């Protein structure tokens, strides 16, 4: 089994922690200064002005479609070479004992558990907790605590243990297309999303290994500590269609507030929820206002969420603006070739 490259694995060591940036590091709206609120309003006003350039960027990324969203959001650890798109979903071949980032309070995941994760350069396995099955989530959070979006193996893994961990997942479901996640975490779009660090307690949507659509909302304490057992809505996905441009989820119950549509499939009542790509926008540094992360809107039913673009997609967005600023993230011409190859 091919092991992750050194830099790529080191970056993915923070799986889950990276995805949660802004949730604990951001600020609440009430804590923002008047000048920050004014800046956010100006960013939003600027972004809402439709231009030929903004339309071009939206068209180019819309052509990539939902099916390739995870390829747009993955970071590539070279600024010039497109590295292999590594699998991230595994059906682990042996029992695995994991703990929190401090390696305390170990809990064992059973053989054949489905996980999103990787093995880092220190031979430690990382597992994303919020995408575990409901049964495994309950077991893990009860032991390691509810604030951890990732868990790590309690010991370094031998070569045989690493091979067992990296057993590629093969099923094609709402959760994963074989060994690849169908969906990154999607964070709720709001006025503060124009800052690189979004607001504390910002809602997000994810899908679990046992095919539940989870919506987190108001899941953190006043101090900003997340509680990933506090799920606002968790609904079983009964059927899933993985279209190029649109994902369609057929849910056992309506997802309240998302405009789900009641439909009948083979005589069974279900609730339809569609996801598709939307407007690409840019966030700015919370402190100095420098242009920062590009984000892509994802329409989730009647609500808007976003995902951060990775460095290749970001470089292409800059090139479409006619800017050379993306060169530091990735070679812009190679980024164009890669992204257009996904269309």
Residue 205 has pLDDT above 50, yes or no: yes
| 21-25, 71-75, 125-129, 228-232: least confidently modelled range | 21-25
Q: What is the mean pLDDT of residues 141-146?
A: 96
246-275 pLDDT, tens per residue?
999 999 999 999 999 999 998 999 999 999
Res 19: pLDDT: 37
Q: CA–CA separation, 289 vs 328, rounded Å?
A: 19
79-132 pLDDT, tens per residue?
899 999 999 999 999 999 999 988 888 999 999 999 999 999 999 999 999 999
Residue 161 has pLDDT above 90, yes or no: yes
Res 77: pLDDT: 87
Structure tokens at 82: 């497109």
Res 292: pLDDT: 84
Res 311: pLDDT: 95
- pLDDT range class, residue 29, cuts 50, 70, 90: low
Percent of residues, the chain, with pLDDT higher than 70 = 91
User: DSSP letter string over 13-57?
Assistant: TTTTTTTTTTTTTS--GGGS-HHHHHHHHHHHHHHTS--HHHHHH
Is-contact 203 216, C-beta < 8 A?
Answer: yes
Res 325: pLDDT: 85
Res 288: pLDDT: 83
Residue 15 has pLDDT above 50, yes or no: no
Regarding predicted confidence, which is higher, 77 or 172?
A: 172
Residue 2 has pLDDT above 70, yes or no: no
CB atoms within 10 A of CB 293: 19
Regarding predicted confidence, which is higher, 24 or 86?
A: 86
Residue 20 has pLDDT above 50, yes or no: no
For tokens 């009430």, the residue is: 30
Res 11: pLDDT: 41
Regarding predicted confidence, which is higher, 216 or 50?
A: 216
Res 280: pLDDT: 97
Q: CA–CA separation, 220 vs 202, rounded Å?
A: 9
Q: What is the mean pLDDT of residues 134-143?
A: 97
Residue 8 has pLDDT above 90, yes or no: no
Residue 24 has pLDDT above 60, yes or no: no
Res 35: pLDDT: 86
Coil, strand or helix: which one is 252?
A: coil
Residue 164 has pLDDT above 70, yes or no: yes
For the entire predicted model, the pTM comes to 0.89
Q: CA–CA separation, 141 vs 186, rounded Å?
A: 22
| Cα three-residue angle 99-135-229, rounded to 5 degrees | 70
Q: What is the mean pLDDT of the chain?
A: 89
Regarding predicted confidence, which is higher, 44 or 315?
A: 315
Res 25: pLDDT: 45
Convert 246-260 to b/e letters by CB count within 10 Å (16 or more is b).
Answer: ebbbbbeebbeebeb
Residue 3 has pLDDT above 60, yes or no: no
44-93 pLDDT, tens per residue?
888 888 899 999 999 999 999 999 999 999 888 888 999 999 999 999 99
Res 227: pLDDT: 96
């Amino acid at each position: 089994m091919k092991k992750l490259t050194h830099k790529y694995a080191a970056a993915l060591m923070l799986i889950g922690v990276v995805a949660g940036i802004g949730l604990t590091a951001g600020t609440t709206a009430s804590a923002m200064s008047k000048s920050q609120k004014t800046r956010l309003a100006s960013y939003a006003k600027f972004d809402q002005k439709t231009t030929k350039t903004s339309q071009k960027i939206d068209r180019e990324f819309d052509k990539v479609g939902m099916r390739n969203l995870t390829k747009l959001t993955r970071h590539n650890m070279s600024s010039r070479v497109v590295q292999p798109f590594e699998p991230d979903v595994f059906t682990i071949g042996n029992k695995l004992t994991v703990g929190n980032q401090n390696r305390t309070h170990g809990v064992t995941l059973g053989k054949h558990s489905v996980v999103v994760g990787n093995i880092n350069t220190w031979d430690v396995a990382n597992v994303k907790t919020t995408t575990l099955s409901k049964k495994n989530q309950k077991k893990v959070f009860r032991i390691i605590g509810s604030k951890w979006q990732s868990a790590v193996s309690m010991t370094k893994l031998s070569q045989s243990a690493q091979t067992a961990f990296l057993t590629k997942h093969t099923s094609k479901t709402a959760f994963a297309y074989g060994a690849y996640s169908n969906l990154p975490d999607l964070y709720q779009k709001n006025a503060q999303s124009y800052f690189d660090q979004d607001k504390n307690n910002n809602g997000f949507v994810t899908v679990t290994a046992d095919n539940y659509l989870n919506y987190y909302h108001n899941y953190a304490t006043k101090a900003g500590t997340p509680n990933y057992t506090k799920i606002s809505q968790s609904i079983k996905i009964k059927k899933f269609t993985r279209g190029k441009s649109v994902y369609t989820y057929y849910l056992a119950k309506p997802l309240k507030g998302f405009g789900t549509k009641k439909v009948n499939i083979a005589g069974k009542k279900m609730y339809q929820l569609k996801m598709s790509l939307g407007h690409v926008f840019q966030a700015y540094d919370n402190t100095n206002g420098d242009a920062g992360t590009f984000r892509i809107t994802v329409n989730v039913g009647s609500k808007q969420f976003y995902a951060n673009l990775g460095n290749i997609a970001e470089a292409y967005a800059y090139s479409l603006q006619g800017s050379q600023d993306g060169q530091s993230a990735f070679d812009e011409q190679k980024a164009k070739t890669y992204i257009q190859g996904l269309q």
